[in-house]
A and B are shown apart, each in its own frame.
Chain A
Amino acid sequence: SQTIHQWPATLVQPVGSPLSLECTVEGTSNPNLYWYRQAAGRGLQLLFYSVGIGQISSEVPQNLSASRPQDRQFILSSKKLLLSDSGFYLCASAGGFVRELFFGEGSRLTVL
């Protein structure tokens, strides 16, 4: 089965500072990769997905961006964080004929 590693696990950042969350995947090759956000009182919101290196699709317009520099690496970034960016960020992977997503442990971001 797949293993998803995310870091950092917890992050407290001031408004206007940059962000970089990293995700790596083990146990599969050429997976579809996803970034989700769980904000307080809301469900899992899909932010970005990628079907291959350098291929990024955005589901929600915002000040966040994503990149996939390697097959099993997915990065979520921001140049200037907003208060509304606070939340629990989850990286997920799907591969092959499996229609299930495997999630990482998540990264808790608090913007002050």
Chain B
Amino acid sequence: DQQVKQNSPSLSVQEGRISILNCDYTNSMFDYFLWYKKYPAEGPTFLISISSIKDKNEDGRFTVFLNKSAKHLSLHIVPSQPGDSAVYFCAASRGGGGSQGNLIFGKGTKLSVKP
């Protein structure tokens, strides 16, 4: 059972335009959401996060939106740059100790930004 879903395996965007990456989750107990960026043959790097008490968090060109009623979050990149081309993973976790706090990852979306 996939608790975090990224239904688009790939996305292609023109440089300068907006990139929108989507993520859906099923577990209503998740209270913290993160986006990671991964280049080939490298480990993922943390990009931006959002707590469930917020509906928006912005960091430079990156904004994450959370719609709790729809169990949906999205990552907006504006303007998109060729260096943004990578695989983006959505992740979620719930509070609590033990395995409850572990991050659950989606399968990733490969973003290609064309010059």
Contact = CB atoms under 8 A, between A and B. Distances in A.
Interface string B43-59: 11110010000000000
Q: Is the interface of A mostly helix, strand, loop or mixed?
A: strand
A104 B99 contact: no
Q: Is the interface of B mostly helix, strand, loop or mixed?
A: mixed
Given A42-B107, A43-B6, 7 more contacts: A32-B101, A43-B89, A90-B44, A99-B93, A100-B34, A106-B41, A106-B43
A43 B105 contact: yes
A75 B34 CA distance: 26
Contacts of B32: 99
Given A43-B108, A101-B103, A108-B41, A51 B46 contact: no
B102 interface: yes
Interface of B: 6, 32, 34, 36, 41-46, 49, 89, 91, 93, 97-99, 101-108
B99 A57 contact: yes
Interface in A1-57: 4, 6, 32, 34, 36, 42-44, 46, 49, 51, 57
Contacts of B107: 42-43
B47 to A, nearest CB: 10
A106 B37 CA distance: 14
B9 to A, nearest CB: 8
A44 B6 CA distance: 12
A103 to B, nearest CB: 3
Contact-residue size bin, chain A (C-beta under 8 Å from the other chain): 20 to 34
B41 A34 contact: no
A105 B43 contact: yes
A28 to B, nearest CB: 15
A72 B28 CA distance: 33
Nearest to A43: B107
A96 to B, nearest CB: 12
Interface string A61-94: 0000000000000000000000000001010100
A34 B99 CA distance: 11
